[in-house]
Chain A
Amino acid sequence: MTSENTEINLLHTLRKEAGSALKVDIWYEGEIWVFHPVGSIDTGTCGDLEVTLIEGIQQGMRWIVLDMTDVRYISSAGIRVLILGAKTLKQKNGELKLSTLNKTVEEIIQMTGLKKVIPVYPDNQSAIHSFSTKE
């Protein structure tokens, strides 16, 4: 786990990076990081999520929950970022999990077979808890 000052700097950097089109709130519980994007994840905004996720992983985050509560729309550009994030984390012995999908986003996640490779949970707490039960 990083020190408190490093965490504050990291959060500041990530929020700044994500500040243009897609707002991404980030918080943590123990060693689990929760990313909460707000808006559509499409061709125009997927880059913001990608930068935020990859920056977080580069700074040492390994267990990430993507809270999709406020994502009402995702296109293949967004799916691409989820696969990229999941692959990058797996290479570093971490894992990406999704929580709280709305009906239309879940349909796209199901259709593209993502449920098979990225675990999906009904809420953040069950996603966070699943990391500790696995270890």
Chain B
Amino acid sequence: MATHQIELSDPKKAVPILSEFLSDILAEEQVPFEIENAMQLCAEEAVVNIFKHGYKGAEGPVRVRFTLDDNRVILEIEDEAPFFNPLTLPSPDVDAELDERKIGGLGVYLIRSLMDDVRYQETPKGNCLVMEKSFSG
């Protein structure tokens, strides 16, 4: 089992730093491209939501832990923002016509759609979102 961890704090630099961190690990571990794409996307969506909504655009600690266990990748994202379970957000209407279509609100929906399992838990300091996806070796 391989585990890698990174701590982010600057909302302006978080996404590129996270993207490079995951690219390096996923290449090193030879994870298939479609899994890399899904992990990158879900990590970006979760971290952007934390800085945007949890920390209201300000700096704050976000710890990202990546674990590869056989043919399963696990991404745990912890913050110290006020308690909020993003999985309680309603799903957007992806069948709506263009005029009725809302401009945002797709991030959590994409995480739920792309991952095999997504769990939320409160921690003593804030929130933790755990995302898992399996792939065939």
Contacts and interface: CB of A to CB of B under 8 A. Distances in A.
Nearest to A40: B19
B16 interface: yes
A8 interface: no
B96 A75 contact: no
Given A83-B101, A108-B110, A43 B44 contact: yes
Nearest to B97: A117
Interface stretch (A27-35, A62-70, A84-92, A125-133): A84-92
Contacts of B113: 111
B48 A112 contact: no
A36 B1 CA distance: 41
B101 A117 contact: yes
B44 A112 contact: no
Interface residues of A, number: 23
Q: Is the interface of B mostly helix, strand, loop or mixed?
A: helix
Interface in A60-101: 73, 75-77, 79-80, 83-84, 86-87, 90
Nearest to B16: A44
B103 A73 contact: no
A123 interface: no
Given A44-B16, A113-B95, A117-B97, A83 B110 contact: no
B133 to A, nearest CB: 14
A104 interface: yes
